[in-house]
C-alpha cells in the first residue's frame, strides 16, 4: 500500500503542488483543455468560470464538513436532507417574519442542531455512523416535507437580502462564491493549524490511541458531526440565495456527491488521512464535467457513460502519479 | 448536436401534421432556441425531449440547443445561465420546480430572451413570455368524473377509491389530487387511500402491491402516471385482482393498447400529452421571429395556452393511438 | 507512593485479575513479571484508566484515586508506554508525541515549539535522526517504539509505566532506554517496568512483583539478588531450564532455499545464502539493518531483484500465493498488523495458511479443522485453551504462539520466523525453542530473525551477520559468541 | 468494544437465536405486533406475508451479494444500476427473440460481467471501491438508458415464462420467493462452510495478514465483486418477473437500501465481520416498516419521520442487547 505522506508539513504548505494532488490537478487541466477545444467562446469566459464556482459553492461548503467527518473516521449521509430541512425551517412564514438575519441564523442553528443529534447518537448512543445519519436523512426529509406541506417556500421580497448573496457581485463575483471560499479557508485552517484539526486525524486514524492519549474521543466525534451540520446550515443559506426558495427537495443525493468528492480527493473512507484541498479539487472535477456537458449539449445517457469513464481515468491518473512518487 | 440521429419517434411525427399553408412555417430569420428540462429518466419526460428535438428538426431556420437535463435545481439553474450567456434567441424551459427557477427565468427575460415556460409554471408572470402546459387539476377532474360516473351507474355506495400518485413533492401531483377529490365530491364520493410512487415502473409496482394488501376490495383506482402504471398493472395481475376499474394518466401507447384490449382492469386514461413540447418549440420560433399564430387574429402569440385533458376509453382509443408515447 | 490492593478485573469468560496487589515507591524501577496472560498488561491498563477494576483500591501518595479514563490517569501524572504500539500513523512524530497535550493557545497549534520540543525529547532518547516532522506510519517498528517512549517522557509524569518497551528494541537501544530510566528515577520518578527478559530486570530493576494467573505470588523481591530459578518457578509454578535445545547431530540435509544476489535498493544489497533441510539459519543485525526486508523479499512480499530458489525451483518474484503453495511460511514481525485476524477465533487464525488442506472442493471439513487447532493449542500451550475464542482476547504472547501455530500446519519446507519470541514469556520461550528445533529435526529449514543475539546464537546452526543491508559474516553459530557478533554489528569488522 | 465471537460455530449454528441478532428479531417482532394491532385483518394474512417476501426478494438477492462485498472490506454502489442494465439488456428485442432462457442467462452474464469490471478496477487497477463502483453506477445507468432509448421494455408474451416466476405459485408462494430463499441459503453456506467464505472474512478483516498467509487477495477481491454482480443479475430476473419489464429506472437507490440492510444487520463497513442472516433480518425490518405504513395509510412525510426513528430504535435495541450479553 503505497500511501503518501499525509502530514509532512512542507507538503501541506505546498497545497496544490503536492504529489498526491497532482493527479487531480492534471485531470482538472485536461478537462479545461477539453473545454477550451470544444467550446472556446463559452468555456473560457469569466461568466462561465463564475458559474462553475457558483454551482460548486453549495455542495462545496457541505464537502468541507464531510471532509472533517470522514477524516475523523465517520460518514454523514444526512447532509442533503439536513440542508433541505434548514432551508425549509428558515423560509417558513413564521421565520420569515423576523427578517433575513434571523432566517440565516435559523438555518445555521437547525443544521448544527441536526448535526448535534447525529453526533450524540453516534458518540454516546454508539450507533454506527452510517445508520445514524441514514436515519437522520430519512427523518429530516420527512420533517422538511411536513413543515413545508411539500410545497416550495418562496423567500419574500422583504427578505431579499438573502437572494442578494447570489445576485450582488463584488469584482464580478457573486457574494456566495466568497462565502464558499471563506468556508474552505476556515476549514483548512482548523484542520491543519488547530488542535481540533490534528485530533480529528488521531480520532479517525487510531481511535484507541487517541483515547489513550487522553483525547475525549466521544466529545470530539460529536463535535465533528455538529460541524458537518453547521456546514449544511451555511449551505442552506446558499441554496436559498440561489433558488430564492426553501424546499424539502433541495440537496437530493448531495451525500453521494459530497462523499465522492472527498474520496476522489484522496481522503480514506476509513479515516485518519485526507485534505480539504483534495476534496475541493475532487468537487471541481465533478462540477467541471457537468459544465462541459452542459456546454456541449451531450445527451444524458452518453453523459452518464462519459462521466463514469472520466471518474475512473481521473482516479487512475492520480494513482499512477502517486505510485511514481512513492514506490 | 452530437446526439445520435434520433429515430424520429412516431408520436412526434404524428403530432406535427403537415405544415398548414399559413406561411408561418416558411423559413424566416435564423433563430437559436435553447431547451432545458429535467433528466429524462421517465417515459413522459423522454417524450418531451424527443418531441422538442423532432419539432426543431422540421425547421431549417431553427438551431436547437438543448442543455444537460438534470433533476438537481442547482444544476438546472446553471444550465439555463449557460444558455443566457450563449445569447440564444428564445428559451424553452420545463423547470424541475417553477418556483425555484423563477429567479433565473427572470434573469433571462431581463436579458431580452423570451422564455417559453413549458408545463410546470413560474409563479411570476414577469418571468416568462408564454406558458404552454397541461391541465393537472383538469386531469384529476377528468379521472374523477369518469370514475364517479362509472360507479354511480353501477350503483355502488361508499366505494373504495384508491389513488396512486406520482412524486408527492411536485405541485403537479398536488393539483391532480385536488382535481380528483373535487370531482369525486360532486358524486358524493371520496378517496379512501392514497400513496405516492416515483413515476417509475418499479415504485408503481411495489406501492400497488402493498395497497392491494391493504384493501381487500377496491372499486376504483386512479394511477396518476402511465409509466408507473406498467408496474401497477403487473402488481394487479400478480395479485390476481380484477374486481375494480382502473384509470391511468398521461396517455402512453402501452396504456392505450391495454384499454383497447378490453380485457384489462385499465378502462381509461386521462391525457397529459407530451406533444406540448413540440408546440412549445413552434411557439418559441414564432416569438423569436416576431410572428403570431396564423389561425388567430392577433399578431402575437398568446400569453398562455392550457391543453385540455381528454379521457381515452375503449370507444375513442383508435383516435388517440397515433398520439400515444412509448413509456 | 502507589499502592494497589485487591484489584479484580473480569472479562467475559476470563478473570484476568483476581486480587492483585502492587506497591511502587518513588524513584524505584519496579518490575512486573509473569507468564503470558498472567495479567500484567491488564493491571497496568487498570492503572492507566483504560479498564475500570471490578474490585480493589488504588492509592496514590496516600490519597484514594479512581482513574475512570486515560485523561484522569494522565492528569494524576501517570504516563504509559503500551505493549501494542498505539500511535496514529497519519500524524507526524511531533504530533504523536504531544497528542492530547499539544503546544497550543486557544486551540491554535504552535508547531514550531512542538517540533523543537519533540526534537529535544528524541535527542534525549538518543535518536536525533528521527525527524519530528516525519510521518509515523513510515517509521520502522523500532522507531515507532522510540516515539512511544518519547510520548511518555513528554508528560511531566511522576509514574511511568512501560509494558515491554524493549520487545522491539535491539541491544544498544535497550542500553539507551536504561540510561533514560536511570535519569528519571534519579529525579524521583517511579517506573513500572514489564519485560520477559530476565537479564534486563537484573540490570535495571530494583524490586520485582510476580503475577501468576491474575494473582500476586510474590511482592517486592530484590531484582538483583533473587535467583533466576526462584523467579521462574514463581512465574510458572515449575522449574524451567532457560536453555536452548541441543543442535542436531547429523549433517544437514539437501538445500531447501537458495538466495542469490537479492537486492532491494535502500534496504539491502547483494544478499546470497542458502538454507538446508533441518537447518536453522539466524540473521543477526541491528534494528534497521534490513533483516525483515530480506525475509519479506524471500517470501515474495516485497519487490527485489535477484533469485530465490525453493527446493530447486526458482520462485517468481512478488508472488506470495505461489510461495506459500510451494511450502514457505512467514511469521511476520508485527503480529497485529501483519498476521492476526483480530475478530476471528483462534482456530480460524491458525488454519488460515492451510485452508485448502482442510477442504474438498472448497468445502471445509470443520471437525478436522477444529481437531487440528485444538491439537496445536495444546501443543503450544496457548492459554486459555479454547480454540473458539476470538484471538483478540488473548494476551500478546499467546497471540504470537497462535501465529506460529499457523505455520506448523500444511507441511512446510521452509519457515521464516521474524522475532518469533517477541513478547513471549520465559517458560513459553523454552517451549518455542523446542518446537522450532523439533521442526528442524523433521527436515524443515528455518530462517530466523531475532534482536536478541543470544537467542540467534543459541538456536541457530548457522548465522548471517548483517550491517546496513549487507551480509558481513556467514558462519557456524558455534564458532561465535555474543561479543563477536556485537562487535561486528557495531563496528562492521568481520571476525 | 465488546462484541461477541464472529465465527464461533456454536453461535453460527444457532443462527436466529444468536445474541447479536436478538435485537433485530425483537425489532421485527415488535413491528409485527404493531401490524397485528393496527391492521389485524390485512396484516396477518398469508397473502400479505407473501407480498412482503416478494417485495423483499429483489433487494434481498442483492443484499446477499452486498454482504459478501462488505465483509470483504469493500463496497458496491453500482448494484441498482447493474441490475437495471441487466434487465434492459435481457429485454431488448434482440435478446427476447431467443426466448426466456437466453434472457435469463443474458441478465446473469451482464450482471456478472459488470461486477467483474468493478472487481478488475478495484483489485488490479487499485481504485478505491467507492469510486470504482460509483463510476460503474453512473456508466451502467447511462448504458441502460442508451440501450433502452429510455423506454420501458415490456416482456413479450412469448417470453412470459419469466413473468411466471412471479405469478406461478407453489404451496401458495410465488416461485421468486423460492429463488430468494435459495440465494440466501447458498450465500450462507458459501460464507460459512467454504474456504471462499473464510477467505472473505480474512481479506476484509486484515488484508495484509491474508496476503502473507498466502491468499491471493486481488483475485479474491475481484471474485467478490463478480459475485455481487452475479446477484444483481439474478435480481434483474426477479424484477423483470415482477414488473414484466426491463427499464433503466429499475433499482434506483438500491445501493443505499442494500448497504443499510447489511449494516443494520451488524456487518461492519470496515469489513471482516458480519452475517447473511443479520443482513436479511435488517432488510425484512425495512420492508416490514414500509408495508405497515402503507397498510395504515400513512403519508410519505410521516412515513419518513417514523422510519428514521424506527431505525434508531432498532439499532439501539440491538446494541443494548449485545451489551447485556457481553459486558
Ligand atoms: N479485552 C479483553 N477481553 C477479554 N479477555 C482479555 C482482554 N484483554 C485481556 N484479556 C485476557 O486477560 C488475561 C491477561 O492478559 P494480559 O494482556 O494482561 O496478559 P500479559 O500478562 O500482559 O501477557 P503478555 O506477557 O503475553 O503480554 C489473558 O487471559 C487475556 O486473554
Ligand atoms: N514502509 C517503509 N517506508 C520507508 N522506509 C522503510 C519502510 N519500512 C522500513 N523502512 C526502512 O528500511 C530500513 C530497514 O527496516 P527495519 O527496521 O524493518 O529493519 P530490520 O532489520 O528488520 O529491523 P527490526 O529489528 O526492526 O526488524 C530502515 O531504515 C527503515 O526505516
Ligand atoms: Mg501484555
Ligand atoms: Mg524487522
Position C453 in a domain: yes
Query: Is D47 part of the contact surface with chain B (CB cutoff 8 Å)?
Result: yes
Residues C459 and C312 in one domain: yes
Residue D8 has pLDDT above 60, yes or no: no
Residues C218 and C263 in one domain: no
Rounded average pLDDT over C219-242: 78
Q: What is the pLDDT of residue C85?
A: 67
Position C460 in a domain: yes
Residues C230 and C262 in one domain: no
Average pLDDT, chain C: 87
Residue A146 has pLDDT above 70, yes or no: yes
C107 to A208: CB separation less than 8 angstroms, yes or no: no
Q: What is the pLDDT of residue C241?
A: 58
Residues C104 and C197 in one domain: yes
- For residues D233 and D104, what is the distance between their CA atoms, to the nearest angstrom? 8
Binding-face residues of C in 108-127 toward A, CB within 8 A: 108-109, 111
B130-133 and B304-306 strand pairing: parallel
Residue D95 has pLDDT above 70, yes or no: yes
- C285 CA closest ligand 2 atom index: 21
Residues C293 and C262 in one domain: yes
Position C240 in a domain: no
B74 to A239: CB separation less than 8 angstroms, yes or no: yes
- Confidence at C116, pLDDT banded by 50, 70, 90: very high
Residue A6 has pLDDT above 60, yes or no: no
CA C168 to centroid of ligand 4, rounded, Å: 9
Beta bridge partners of B118: B132
Which of C16, C19, C34 has most ligand 1 atoms within 8 Å of CB, for mutation? Answer: C16
Report the chain A residue with the minimal C-alpha distance to residue C73: A214
Q: Model pTM?
A: 0.86
Indicate whether residue C56 lines ligand 2 (CB < 6 A).
Answer: no
Quick one: what percent of chain A has pLDDT higher than 70? 88
- Whether residue B93 contacts residue B129, with contact meaning beta carbons closer than 8 Å, is answered with no
Helix, strand, coil distribution of chain B in percent, nearest 5: 45, 15, 40
Rounded average pLDDT over A169-187: 94
Quick one: what percent of chain A has pLDDT higher than 90? 51
Q: What is the pLDDT of residue B143?
A: 96
Rounded average pLDDT over D18-30: 80
Which of C287, C288, C423, C489 has most ligand 2 atoms within 8 Å of CB, for mutation? Answer: C288
- Whether residue C300 contacts residue C318, with contact meaning beta carbons closer than 8 Å, is answered with yes
Residues C69 and C214 in one domain: yes
Ligand nearest to the CA of A2: 2
A151 to B174: CB separation less than 8 angstroms, yes or no: yes
Using H for helix, E for strand and C for coil, what is the string for chain D? Answer: CCCCCCCCHHHHHHHHHCHHHHHHHHHHHHHHHHHHHHCHHHHCCHHHHHHHHHHHHHHHHHHHHHHHHHHCCCCCCCHHHHHHHHHHHHCCHHHHCCCHHHHHHHHHHHHHHHHHHHHHHHHHCCCCHHHHHHHHHHHHHHHHHHHHCCCCEECCHHHHHHHHHHHCEECCEEHHHHHHHHHHHHHHHHHHHEHHHHHHHHHHHCHHHHHHCCCCHHHHHHHHHHHHHHHHHHHHHHHHHHHCEECCCCCCCHHHHHHHHHHHCCCCCCCCCCCHHHHHHHHHHHHHHHHHHHHCCCCHHHHHHHHHHHHHHHHHHHHHHHHHHCC
Residue D63 has pLDDT above 70, yes or no: yes
Give D70 to chain C, closest Cα distance, Å: 15
Kindly report the protein residue whose alpha carbon is nearest to atom 29 of ligand 1: C37
- On chain B, the residues whose CB falls within 8 A of the CB of D166 are 234, 238
Kindly report the protein residue whose alpha carbon is nearest to atom 14 of ligand 2: C288
Task: Give one DSSP letter per residue of C371-422, joined into a string.
Answer: HHHHHHHHHTT-SS--TTSBGGGS-HHHHHHHHHHHTTSS--SEEEEESTTT
Which of A59, A243, A295 comes nearest B100 by C-beta?
A243
Task: Give one DSSP letter per residue of A152-163, joined into a string.
Answer: -EEPPGGGHHHH
Q: Where are the domains of chain D?
A: 42-325
Q: What is the pLDDT of residue B22?
A: 57
Indicate whether residue C38 lines ligand 1 (CB < 6 A).
Answer: yes
- Confidence at A5, pLDDT banded by 50, 70, 90: very low
Residues C219 and C333 in one domain: no
- For residues C419 and C400, what is the distance between their CA atoms, to the nearest angstrom? 10
Residue D10 has pLDDT above 50, yes or no: no
Residues C66 and C187 in one domain: yes
- At C349-389, the pLDDT tens digits run 999 988 888 988 889 999 999 999 999 999 888 888 999 99
Residue A323 has pLDDT above 70, yes or no: no
Residue C330 has pLDDT above 80, yes or no: yes
Of A153-157, A262-266, B4-8, C175-179, the one with minimum mean pLDDT is B4-8
Query: Is D297 part of the contact surface with chain B (CB cutoff 8 Å)?
Result: yes
For chain D, list the contacting chains (3+ Cβ pairs, <8 Å).
Answer: A, B, C
> What contacts A301, CB < 8 A, 6 or more positions away?
D142, D143, D145, D146, D150
Ligand nearest to the CA of C287: 2
- At A259-290, the pLDDT tens digits run 989 988 888 888 888 999 999 999 998 888 87
A297 to B79: CB separation less than 8 angstroms, yes or no: no
Query: Is D325 part of the contact surface with chain B (CB cutoff 8 Å)?
Result: no
Which of A75, A121, A141 comes nearest D304 by C-beta?
A141
- C466 CA closest ligand 2 atom index: 21
Domain containing C415 equals 255-491
Q: How many CB pairs under 8 A join A and D?
A: 137
Backbone φ and ψ of D3, nearest 5°: -115, 150
Which of A45, A52, A151 comes nearest B85 by C-beta?
A45
Query: Is A48 part of the contact surface with chain B (CB cutoff 8 Å)?
Result: yes
Which of A239, A244, A302 comes nearest B103 by C-beta?
A244
Closest CA to B287 of B110, B121, B114: B114
Indicate whether residue C264 lines ligand 2 (CB < 6 A).
Answer: no
- On chain B, the residues whose CB falls within 8 A of the CB of D300 are 168, 195-196
Residues C156 and C185 in one domain: yes
Quick one: what percent of chain B has pLDDT higher than 90? 64
Distance of CA B57 to the CA centre of its chain: 21
Kindly report the protein residue whose alpha carbon is nearest to atom 17 of ligand 1: C395
**Which of A166, A172, A243 to mutate to test binding with chain B, by most B CBs within 10 Å of its CB?**
A243
Which of A48, A59, A239 comes nearest B82 by C-beta?
A48
Number of domains in chain C: 2
Which of C299, C323, C338 comes nearest D209 by C-beta?
C338
**Which of D80, D81, D138, D152 to mutate to test binding with chain B, by most B CBs within 10 Å of its CB?**
D152
Chains C and B touch (3+ CB pairs under 8 A): no
Residue D2 has pLDDT above 50, yes or no: no
A128 to D269: CB separation less than 8 angstroms, yes or no: yes
Kindly report the protein residue whose alpha carbon is nearest to atom 5 of ligand 2: C138
Q: What is the pLDDT of residue C429?
A: 82
Say which residue, B22 or A314, is predicted with more confidence. A314
Residues C325 and C424 in one domain: yes
- On chain A, the residues whose CB falls within 8 A of the CB of C137 are 3, 6
Indicate whether residue C7 lines ligand 1 (CB < 6 A).
Answer: no
- On chain D, the residues whose CB falls within 8 A of the CB of A278 are none
Indicate whether residue C11 lines ligand 1 (CB < 6 A).
Answer: yes
- Confidence at D306, pLDDT banded by 50, 70, 90: confident
- At B269-287, the pLDDT tens digits run 999 989 999 999 999 999 9
Spelled out in words, what is the top-level CATH class assigned to the domain D42-325?
Answer: mainly alpha
* Range ranked top by mean pLDDT from C193-207, C269-283, D175-189: D175-189
CA C293 to centroid of ligand 2, rounded, Å: 7
A213 to C99: CB separation less than 8 angstroms, yes or no: yes
Position C76 in a domain: yes
- C399 CA closest ligand 1 atom index: 26
Residue B16 has pLDDT above 80, yes or no: no
Q: How many CB pairs under 8 A join B and D?
A: 102
- On chain C, the residues whose CB falls within 8 A of the CB of A214 are 69-71, 74, 100-101
Q: What is the pLDDT of residue C396?
A: 81
Position C246 in a domain: no
Residue B57 has pLDDT above 90, yes or no: yes
* Residue where one domain finishes, among candidates C235, C270, C286: C235
Rounded average pLDDT over C65-93: 87
Q: What is the pLDDT of residue B118?
A: 94
Residues C183 and C137 in one domain: yes
The domain that holds C330 is classified in CATH as: 3.40.50.300
Q: What's the ipTM?
A: 0.84
Say which residue, B97 or B6, is predicted with more confidence. B97
Q: What is the pLDDT of residue B89?
A: 95
Kindly report the protein residue whose alpha carbon is nearest to atom 13 of ligand 2: C288
Amino acid at each position: 500500500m503505497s500511501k503518501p505522506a499525509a502530514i509532512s508539513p512542507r507538503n501541506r504548505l505546498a497545497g496544490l503542488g503536492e504529489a498526491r494532488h497532482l493527479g487531480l490537478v492534471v485531470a482538472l487541466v485536461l478537462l479545461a483543455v477539453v473545454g477550451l477545444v470544444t467550446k472556446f467562446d463559452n468555456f473560457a469566459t469569466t461568466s462561465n468560470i463564475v458559474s462553475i464556482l457558483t454551482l460548486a459553492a453549495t455542495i462545496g461548503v457541505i464537502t468541507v464538513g464531510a471532509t472533517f467527518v470522514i477524516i475523523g473516521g465517520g460518514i454523514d449521509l444526512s447532509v442533503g436532507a439536513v440542508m433541505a430541512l434548514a432551508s425549509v425551517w428558515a423560509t417558513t412564514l413564521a421565520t420569515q417574519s423576523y427578517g433575513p438575519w434571523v432566517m440565516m441564523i435559523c438555518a445555521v442553528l437547525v443544521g448544527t442542531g441536526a448535526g448535534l443529534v447525529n453526533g450524540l447518537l453516534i458518540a454516546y448512543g454508539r450507533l454506527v455512523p452510517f445508520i445514524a445519519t441514514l436515519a437522520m436523512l430519512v427523518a429530516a426529509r420527512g420533517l422538511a416535507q411536513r413543515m413545508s406541506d411539500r410545497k416550495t417556500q418562496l423567500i419574500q421580497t422583504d427578505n431579499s437580502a438573502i437572494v442578494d448573496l447570489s445576485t450582488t457581485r463584488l469584482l464580478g463575483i457573486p457574494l456566495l462564491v466568497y462565502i464558499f471560499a471563506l468556508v474552505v479557508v476556515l476549514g483548512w485552517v482548523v484542520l491543519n493549524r488547530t488542535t481540533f484539526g490534528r485530533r480529528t486525524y488521531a480520532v479517525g486514524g487510531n481511535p484507541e490511541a487517541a483515547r489513550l492519549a487522553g483525547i475525549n474521543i466521544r466529545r470530539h466525534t460529536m463535535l465533528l458531526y455538529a460541524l458537518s451540520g453547521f456546514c449544511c446550515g451555511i449551505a442552506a443559506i446558499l441554496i436559498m440565495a440561489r433558488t430564492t426558495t426553501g424546499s424539502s427537495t433541495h440537496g437530493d443525493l448531495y451525500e453521494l456527491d459530497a462523499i465522492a468528492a472527498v474520496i476522489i480527493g484522496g481522503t480514506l473512507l476509513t479515516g485518519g488521512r485526507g485534505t480539504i484541498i483534495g476534496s475541493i479539487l475532487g468537487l471541481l472535477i465533478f462540477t467541471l464535467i457537468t459544465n462541459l456537458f452542459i456546454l456541449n449539449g451531450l445527451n444524458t445517457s452518453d453523459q452518464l457513460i462519459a462521466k463514469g469513464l472520466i471518474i475512473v481515468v481521473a482516479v487512475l491518473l492520480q494513482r499512477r502519479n502517486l505510485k511514481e512518487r512513492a514506490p | 448536436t452530437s446526439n445520435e440521429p434520433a429515430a424520429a419517434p412516431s408520436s412526434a411525427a404524428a403530432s406535427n401534421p403537415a405544415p398548414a399553408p399559413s406561411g408561418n412555417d416558411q423559413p424566416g430569420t435564423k433563430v437559436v432556441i435553447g431547451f432545458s428540462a429535467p433528466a429524462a429518466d421517465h417515459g413522459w419526460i423522454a417524450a418531451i425531449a424527443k418531441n422538442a428535438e423532432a419539432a426543431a428538426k422540421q425547421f431549417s431556420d431553427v438551431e436547437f440547443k438543448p442543455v444537460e437535463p438534470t433533476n438537481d435545481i442547482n444544476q438546472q439553474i446553471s444550465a439555463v445561465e449557460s444558455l443566457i450567456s450563449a445569447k440564444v434567441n428564445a428559451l424553452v424551459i420545463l423547470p424541475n420546480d417553477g418556483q425555484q427557477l423563477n429567479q433565473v427565468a427572470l434573469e433571462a427575460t431581463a436579458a431580452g430572451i423570451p422564455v417559453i415556460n413549458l408545463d410546470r409554471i413560474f409563479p411570476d408572470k414577469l418571468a416568462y413570455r408564454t406558458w404552454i402546459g397541461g391541465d393537472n387539476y383538469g386531469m384529476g377532474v377528468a379521472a374523477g368524473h369518469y370514475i364517479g360516473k362509472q360507479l354511480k351507474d353501477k350503483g355502488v355506495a361508499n366505494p373504495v377509491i384508491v389513488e396512486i400518485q406520482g412524486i408527492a413533492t411536485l405541485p403537479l401531483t398536488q393539483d391532480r389530487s385536488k382535481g380528483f377529490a373535487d370531482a369525486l365530491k360532486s358524486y358524493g364520493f371520496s378517496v379512501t387511500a392514497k400513496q405516492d410512487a416515483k413515476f417509475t415502473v418499479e415504485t408503481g409496482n411495489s406501492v400497488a402491491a402493498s395497497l392491494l394488501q391493504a384493501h381487500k376490495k377496491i372499486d376504483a383506482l386512479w394511477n396518476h402516471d402511465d409509466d408507473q402504471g406498467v408496474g401497477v398493472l403487473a402488481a394487479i395481475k400478480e395479485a390476481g385482482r380484477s374486481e375494480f376499474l382502473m384509470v391511468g394518466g398521461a396517455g402512453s401507447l402501452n396504456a392505450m393498447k391495454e384499454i383497447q384490449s378490453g380485457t384489462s382492469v385499465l378502462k381509461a386514461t386521462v391525457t397529459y400529452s407530451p406533444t406540448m413540447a413540440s408546440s412549445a418549440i413552434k411557439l418559441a420560433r414564432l416569438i423569436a421571429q416576431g410572428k403570431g399564430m396564423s389561425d388567430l387574429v392577433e399578431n402575437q402569440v398568446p400569453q398562455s395556452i392550457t391543453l385540455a385533458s381528454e379521457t381515452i376509453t375503449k370507444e375513442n382509443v383508435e383516435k388517440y393511438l397515433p398520439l400515444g408515447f412509448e413509456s | 507512593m502507589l499502592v494497589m490492593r485487591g484489584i479484580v478485573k473480569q472479562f467475559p469468560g476470563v478473570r484476568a485479575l483476581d486480587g492483585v496487589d502492587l506497591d511502587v515507591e518513588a524513584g524505584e524501577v519496579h518490575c512486573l513479571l509473569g507468564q503470558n496472560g498472567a495479567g500484567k498488561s491488564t493491571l497496568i491498563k487498570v492503572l492507566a484508566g483504560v479498564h475500570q477494576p471490578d474490585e480493589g483500591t488504588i492509592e496514590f501518595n496516600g490519597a484514594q484515586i479512581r482513574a475512570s479514563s486515560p485523561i484522569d490517569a494522565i492528569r494524576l501524572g501517570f504516563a504509559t508506554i503500551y505493549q501494542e504500539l498505539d500511535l496514529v500513523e497519519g500524524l507526524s512524530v511531533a504530533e504523536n508525541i504531544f497528542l492530547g497535550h499539544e503546544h497550543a493557545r486557544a486551540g491554535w497549534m504552535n508547531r514550531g515549539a512542538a517540533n523543537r520540543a519533540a526534537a529535544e525529547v528524541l535527542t534525549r532518547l538518543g535518536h536525533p535522526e528521527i525527524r519530528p516532522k516525519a510521518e509515523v506510519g513510515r517509521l520502522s517498528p523500532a522507531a515507532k517504539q522510540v516515539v512511544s517512549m518519547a510520548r511518555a517522557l513528554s508528560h511531566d509524569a511522576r509514574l511511568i509505566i512501560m509494558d515491554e518497551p524493549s520487545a522491539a528494541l535491539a541491544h544498544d537501544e535497550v542500553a539507551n532506554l536504561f540510561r533514560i530510566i536511570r535519569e528519571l528515577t534519579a529525579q524521583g520518578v517511579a517506573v513500572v517496568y514489564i519485560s520477559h527478559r530476565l537479564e534486563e530486570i537484573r540490570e535495571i530493576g530494583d524490586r520485582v512483583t510476580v503475577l501468576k494467573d491474575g494473582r500476586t505470588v510474590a511482592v517486592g523481591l530484590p531484582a538483583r539478588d533473587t535467583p533466576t530459578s526462584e523467579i521462574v518457578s514463581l512465574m510458572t509454578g515449575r522449574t524451567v531450564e532457560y536453555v536452548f535445545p541441543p543442535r542436531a547431530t547429523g549433517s544437514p540435509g539437501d538445500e531447501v532455499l537458495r538466495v542469490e544476489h537479492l537486492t532491494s535498493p535502500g534496504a539491502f544489497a547483494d544478499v546470497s545464502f542458502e538454507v538446508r533441510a533441518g537447518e536453522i539459519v539466524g540473521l543477526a543485525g541491528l534494528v534497521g539493518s534490513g533483516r525483515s526486508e530480506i525475509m519479506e523479499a524471500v517470501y515474495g512480499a516485497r519487490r527485489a531483484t535477484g533469485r530465490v530458489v525453493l527446493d530447486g525451483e526458482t520462485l517468481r518474484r512478488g508472488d506470495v500465493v505461489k510461495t506459500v503453495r510451494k511450502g514457505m511460511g512467514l511469521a511476520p514481525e508485527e503480529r497485529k498488523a501483519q498476521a492476526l485476524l483480530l475478530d476471528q477465533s483462534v482456530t480460524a487464525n491458525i488454519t488460515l495458511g492451510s485452508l485448502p488442506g482442510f477442504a474438498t472442493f472448497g468445502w471445509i471439513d470443520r471437525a478436522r479443522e477444529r481437531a487440528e487447532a485444538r491439537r496445536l493449542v495444546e501443543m503450544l500451550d496457548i492459554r486459555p485453551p479454547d480454540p473458539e475464542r476470538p484471538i483478540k482476547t488473548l494476551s500478546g504472547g499467546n497471540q504470537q504462539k497462535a501465529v506460529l501455530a499457523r505455520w506448523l500446519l500444511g507441511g512446510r519446507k521452509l519457515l521464516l520466523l521474524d522475532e518469533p519470541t517477541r513478547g513471549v514469556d520465559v517458560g513459553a520461550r523454552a517451549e518455542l525453542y523446542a518446537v522450532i528445533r523439533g521442526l528442524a529435526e523433521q527436515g524443515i529449514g528455518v530462517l530466523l530473525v531475532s534482536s536478541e543475539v543470544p537467542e540467534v546464537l543459541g538456536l541457530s546452526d548457522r548465522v548471517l551477520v548483517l550491517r546496513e543491508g549487507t551480509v558481513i559474516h556467514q558462519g557456524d553459530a558455534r564458532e561465535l559468541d555474543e561479543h563477536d557478533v556485537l562487535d561486528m554489528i557495531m563496528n562492521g569488522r568481520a571476525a
